[in-house]
Amino acid sequence: MDTIETLHAMEILDSRGRPTVRATCRLASGATGTASVPSGASTGKAEALELRDGETGRYNGLGCRKAVANVNGEIRSVVSGQGFETQEGLDAALCELDGTPNKARLGANAVLAVSIAYARAVAAHRVVPLYKHLAHIRRVPPDTLPRPTINLFSGGKHAGGQVSIQDVLIVPTSVVSIEEALAMASEVYRRAAERCAKRYDMRLLRADEGGMAPPFKNTEEMLLEAVESILVAGLEPGRHVSLAIDVASSHFHNVGTYTLDGEKLSANGMIERIAKWVEQHPIVSVEDGLAENDWDHWPRLRDAIGGKALVLGDDLLCTNPERIRKAADKRAADALLLKVNQIGTLSEAAEAMRLAREANWKVTVSARSGETEDDWLADLAVGWGGDQIKIGSITQSDRLSKYNRLLEIEDETSLPLVWWPNR
């Protein structure tokens, strides 16, 4: 493997106008790779630390100059001139240099930018597309493309909190290609926008990931409106288009009580409510139905809806191998939401993916609510054989760069879309 000649990082702005880190890695051969890292808003407590400057007079403390300086200083001086046999080799060196369990010293934003920039540089050196190189890292060649799950409506931390739950997503289930999935989603989105304009007498306002955020009374209304929009688009809910939800319930949970749209529910009450939604609507995936530390109730949620909808762990798992092992042992979930910046290196995320597969789980590869125009997520989802990809809505370039990259990969490979849910 070629040696790293140098690294260079800089601060750029993400889709919320907040600073983030972009790094470039140049190998001795001259091959280079650049990568930008995303940032969450509804973050899990067990996520790796995103290093922020904390200077209140600048970007309200969210600057990334310290993380950038860590790449251009300490990390660069340790890795420059070194050749790593594998991605794991570089990532292990980065983890060792950081020396904390959660990248708290150098910052997961600094470390991840380097990890992905290096993968891109090596892909360029090997003259292969990034998805092929990433597949090579996991030693499994891709034979399908991930099925998109696309934001329609948002609430919670991604919108004004008018509804407690964070997202209702549409899942084009009957289509056989990315191209058809996007065209179908666009039709539903357009119909939903027209309906909301009439019904709420408002112009289109979008949440962080491009989902619409009208003043729904509650989650039920949000779900019904999604189903209506599918029907008005001339499609059959559950046959052509299904729904996925991100309940993101850690963010409305406090000491055993869930405050759902103003109503106080116990964990069991929450499970019953979710089971009812799954019963009444064509919901095929439920993310973070319960809070991140409500370990005792997650297996009961799985008993209640498993087999009908995926029990998908985001804040619960934080792409963290230890938490995934625990969840698999407890039968607390049956699907992993994979977000590389929750853990901080590609190799640790690959281990998270491996454990999920070992437990026979499905995997949704996910963007963050704060994104950049970088499109590596699409290559990652294809290269690692994700079942679903969650990018956001089909609006805004921070989301579209990834959808467009999926279209490009589809055009290049003609790989089929993964069949999910199993039919």
The catalytic residues are 209, 339
- CB 185, min distance to Mg ion, A: 19
d(CA 87, CA 346): 8
CB distance 173 to 233 below 8 Å:
no
Out of ligand 2PG, Mg ion, none, what residue 227 binds, judged by CB under 5 to 8 A for its kind, is: none
How many residues form the binding site for Mg ion (CB under 5 A)? 2
- Give the one entry of ligand 2PG, Mg ion, none that residue 41 binds, where binding means its C-beta sits below a cut-off of 5 to 8 angstroms depending on kind: ligand 2PG
Compute the 3-state secondary structure of the chain and give helix, strand, coil in percent, each to the nearest 5: 40, 20, 40
Name the phi and psi angles at 338, rounded to 5. -100, 115
The one of Mg ion, ligand 2PG, none whose footprint includes residue 147, by CB under 5 to 8 A per kind, is none
Nearer to ligand 2PG, 164 or 166 (CB): 166
Task: Kindly give the pairing relationship between strand 253-254 and strand 257-260.
Answer: antiparallel
Residue 115, binding choice from ligand 2PG, Mg ion, none, Cβ under 5 to 8 Å by partner class? none
Q: How far is the CB of 18 from ligand 2PG (least distance, A)?
A: 12
Nearer to ligand 2PG, 292 or 314 (CB): 314
User: How are strands ordered across the β-sheet holding 19-27?
Assistant: 4-13, 19-27, 32-36
Cα–Cα nearest to 163, from 204, 220, 210, 228: 220
Token pair, residue 302, equals 């799985």
Using CB atoms within 10 Å of the CB of residue 106, give its burial: 0 to 12 exposed, 13 to 18 middle, 19+ buried. Answer: buried
Tell me the residue number closest to ligand 2PG, measured at CB: 40
C-beta of 249: minimal distance to ligand 2PG in Å? 11
What residues form DSSP beta bridges with 244?
169, 285
Give the number of other CB atoms < 10 A from CB of residue 337.
27
Structural tokens at position 122: 């090596």
Which residues, 6 or more positions from 238, have their beta carbon under 8 angstroms from its beta carbon?
173, 282
Mask for 189-228, x = binds Mg ion (CB under 5 A): ----------------------------------------
| Contacted entry of Mg ion, ligand 2PG, none for residue 366, CB cut-off 5 to 8 Å set by kind | ligand 2PG
Q: Is 64 or 123 the residue whose CB approaches ligand 2PG more closely?
A: 64
Residue 98: name its binding partner from ligand 2PG, Mg ion, none (Cβ under 5 to 8 Å by kind): none
Nearest-approach distance from CB 65 to ligand 2PG, in angstroms: 22
* Positions in 302-341 near Mg ion (CB under 5 A): 314
CB of 258 to Mg ion, least distance (A): 16
Q: Could you tell me the end-to-end alpha-carbon distance of the chain, in angstroms, rounded to an integer?
A: 43
Q: Which is nearer to ligand 2PG, 196 or 377 (CB)?
A: 377
Please report, as ranges, the residues that interact with ligand 2PG according to CB under 6 A: 40-43, 166-167, 209, 246, 248, 314, 366, 368-369
Phi/psi for 224 (5° steps) reads -60, -40
- Tell me the closest approach of the beta carbon of residue 302 to ligand 2PG, in angstroms: 19
Interacting partner of 43 out of Mg ion, ligand 2PG, none (Cβ under 5 to 8 A depending on kind)? ligand 2PG
The nearer residue to ligand 2PG, 167 or 348, going by C-beta atoms, is 167
DSSP lists the bridge partners of residue 83 as 3
* Least distance to ligand 2PG, CB of residue 247, Å: 10
Quote the Cα angle for 107-113-115, to 5°: 100
**Counts of helices then strands in the chain (DSSP H, E):** 13, 14
Question: Applying CB under 5 A, which part among 148-156, 195-203, 245-253, 396-404 lies near Mg ion?
Answer: 245-253
Supply 245's token pair.
């939800």
* Interactions with Mg ion, residue window 29-68 (CB under 5 A): none
Q: Report in angstroms how near the CB of residue 139 gets to ligand 2PG at its nearest.
A: 28
| Cβ-contact 287, 365 below 8 angstroms | no
The interface with Mg ion within residues 354-413 (CB under 5 A) comprises none
Burial group, residue 60, by CB count within 10 angstroms (0-12, 13-18, 19+): exposed
* β-bridge pairing 362-366 and 388-392: parallel
- Shorter beta-carbon distance to ligand 2PG: residue 48 or 121: 48
- Kindly list the strands in the beta sheet with 263-265, ordered across the sheet, starting from the edge strand earlier in the chain: 253-254, 257-260, 263-265
**Of ligand 2PG, Mg ion, none, which one sits near residue 320, judging by CB under 5 to 8 A according to partner kind?**
none
**Residue 246 interacts with Mg ion (CB under 5 A)?**
yes
Please give the residue ranges that form the binding site for Mg ion (CB under 5 A). 246, 314
